[in-house]
A and B are shown apart, each in its own frame.
Chain A
Amino acid sequence: MADHTRDPCPIVIVNDFGGAFAMGVIGGTIWHGIKGFRNSPTGERGSGALTAIRSRAPVVGGNFGSWGGVFSFFDCSIKGLRRKEDPFNPIMAGFCTGGALAMRGGFKHARNSAITCGCLLAVFEGVGMVISRMMTPAAPAPAVRPLEA
């Protein structure tokens, strides 16, 4: 059965982008709030935390968001090209995303980043499959009655 919780493909890129961006901003707020608080001298901890959040949290959000958006873009493109959905779609999309985002660092950097992202997504997909297999209850007994002799 199709996944009805997600929107159809071209427009879901915007959704993924926004979701990843929001996740990164909120996570970056917590992370850099704590970091700025700890790194400030006593008496300026509050303002230090605020400054760190103001300057760093949007950047974290932007990095998360661009990763999520580019990943979703590649995912949609690969789905459109292959015309099927299986765990290899996210792996290939992760490979392309890692390569595309590291493109300015040169070929070597892009290649290494692409392989890393592909492996990471492969691990995610594998763990997801294992978990869903463990969580799935045993198949119920068939609804039809056995044949009466």
Chain B
Amino acid sequence: MVWPFGGSQTAATSSPSSETSASSSSFVPDTTNNTDKQLSIPFLSEDVDISQLHPLARLGQDLEVLDLEDDALSDLPGSKGFLPSRGWSDDLCYGSGTMYMGGLAVGGTYGFAEGMRTTPANAPARIRINAILNAITRRGPYLGNTAGILAISYNIFNGIFDMTRSYHDIYNSIAAGAITGALYRSTMGLKPMAISALIMGGTMGAWNLGTSAL
């Protein structure tokens, strides 16, 4: 998996050979010497097939030590987006984390502005700092909690739909968003529920269309 912050591993493996030989563009292990040939090691009583020595190292095959099974991406049909993901739990963690941090940042900024605005300009610095901190801690976590709850609920429903239908498409997303929106306003009455469901479903549909267009 290549993450935006850590994509240097694949580049590092192929770099040494690019300057040594112009003919081969990438690093290819010399498979003719060690695939089936018995390697003789002096202190062993008889020759040993080195591919049997250490299965994880895959000495007899190509260089594939990097593709361990834990790194496998989700193989659900239709789920390959522009964000790499190992499955619904990955989506859940990253989705709610991103939404919470985004909500916290936006709410914190709003709270900072509110605290700056409400304190009188001639207040002592200590009182001013306290008022600003209070406003930040009131607005930030509220918005973050709300956004995080919505993200968790959406990802859980999306995961359930993906699992029951065994593939992912935009309708799963829209339905999960609509159910999330309806649940979010479920104590307010039918009309707010419908409006919220429309907004959330529309948002998720637009998000899916936008990311699949990339």
Contacts and interface: CB of A to CB of B under 8 A. Distances in A.
Contacts of B46: 145
A21 B100 contact: yes
A69 to B, nearest CB: 7
Interface stretch (A6-14, A33-41, A122-130): A6-14
A100 to B, nearest CB: 14
Contact of B97 (A21, A50, A147): A21
Contacts, number: 93
Given A19-B93, A21-B96, A25-B148, A14 B101 contact: yes
B4 A62 contact: no
A19 B96 CA distance: 8
A143 B53 CA distance: 7
A14 B148 contact: no
B131 interface: no
A17 interface: yes
Nearest to B92: A22
Interface string B81-105: 0000000001011111110110000
B96 A11 contact: no
Nearest to A57: B149
B45 A19 contact: no
A65 to B, nearest CB: 6
A62 B70 CA distance: 29
Nearest to B99: A18
Interface residues of A, number: 33
Given A21-B96, A22-B152, A54-B187, A11 B3 contact: yes
B188 to A, nearest CB: 11
Contacts of A61: 145, 148-149, 152
Nearest to A66: B141
Interface string B168-190: 00000000000000000001000
Q: Chain B, interface size: which category? A: 20 to 34
A69 B97 CA distance: 9
A18 B45 contact: no
Contacts of B45: 145, 147-148
Interface string A42-81: 0000000010001001110110011001000000000000
Interface of B: 1, 3-6, 43-46, 48, 53, 68, 70-71, 90, 92-98, 100-101, 133, 141, 144-146, 148-149, 151-152, 187
28 contacts: A4-B70, A4-B71, A7-B1, A11-B6, A14-B94, A14-B97, A14-B98, A15-B90, A15-B94, A15-B97, A16-B93, A17-B101, A18-B92, A18-B95, A18-B96, A19-B97, A21-B100, A21-B152, A22-B93, A25-B149, A25-B152, A61-B152, A65-B148, A69-B101, A143-B53, A145-B45, A147-B45, A148-B45
Given A11-B4, A25-B152, 11 more contacts: A8-B6, A11-B6, A14-B94, A16-B93, A17-B101, A18-B100, A19-B97, A22-B152, A58-B149, A62-B100, A145-B45
